Amino acid sequence: MYSMKKLFFAIIVLNLFLAACSSQKKVSDHLPTVDLLDQQRYTFVARQVIPTEDAQYNPRNMFPNASNMYQLTSRYDLRITPDSVVAYLPFFGRAYTAPINPSEGGIKFTSTNFSYKISMRKKNYEIQIIPNDNNDVRNLYLTVSPSGYASLNITSVNKTPIGYSGVIESNQ
């Protein structure tokens, strides 16, 4: 009986170790490079969404109240190319105007007229995207770490600010 408990414990520890190794491998596959971000050929894949309140919002302090963090189970992303920005992201928060069609909820848009500014702050890349041809979204603020993790803040005219965390992938 004692050896069965040891064997069972060893199997659990081995599974946890293998799961940790495989998840680290997936993140290292997403390592962003300066060229990838400069050339605007990447996709931000959201894994969590963090609704924020107006009084707490600060683009440099994205997660003031992490207790409101929700895990995403479907794929939501922000695709950046040199000629377009395509957003397909969920929205949790207060909207000051509602769409007539409920399927038009969330943050969904395509912009072909936008400004793109990249800078370095400490070891992270900071990217500011301002869509000029969108009446709702004012600003997208993306912070990318050297390991490939990223956070995205979106400010909108008709909705409260919202934040996302996820990873950067190269466009295929």
The CATH number assigned to the domain holding 55 equals 2.40.128.410
- Domain shared by 23 and 35, yes or no: no
Say if residue 161 is in the same domain as residue 113: yes
Cα separation of 110 and 78, whole Å?
10
* Whole-angstrom distance, CA of residue 11 vs CA of residue 30: 29
Position 19 scores a pLDDT of 53
List, for residues 112-168, the tens digit of each pLDDT value.
999 999 998 888 899 999 999 988 899 999 999 888 899 999 999 888 899 999 999
Domain that holds residue 6: 1-30
Single pTM value for the model: 0.73
**Do residues 39 and 9 share a domain?**
no
Helix (H, G, I), strand (E, B) or coil at 6: helix
Residues 25-79: tens digit of each pLDDT: 444 444 556 778 888 899 999 999 988 764 344 555 544 455 578 889 999 999 9
Max intra-chain CA distance, the chain: 69
Q: Helix, strand, or coil here: 98?
A: coil
Alpha-helical (H) ranges within the chain are: 2-28, 34-38
Burial class (CB in 10 A: 0-12, 13-18, 19+), 93: middle
- Gap between the terminal Cα atoms of the chain: 53
CA distance 169 to 69: 22
Name the 3-class secondary structure at 66.
Answer: helix
Same domain, 40 and 77: yes
* 57 and 17 in a common domain: no
Residue 131 and residue 117 in contact, taking contact as beta carbons nearer than 8 Å: no
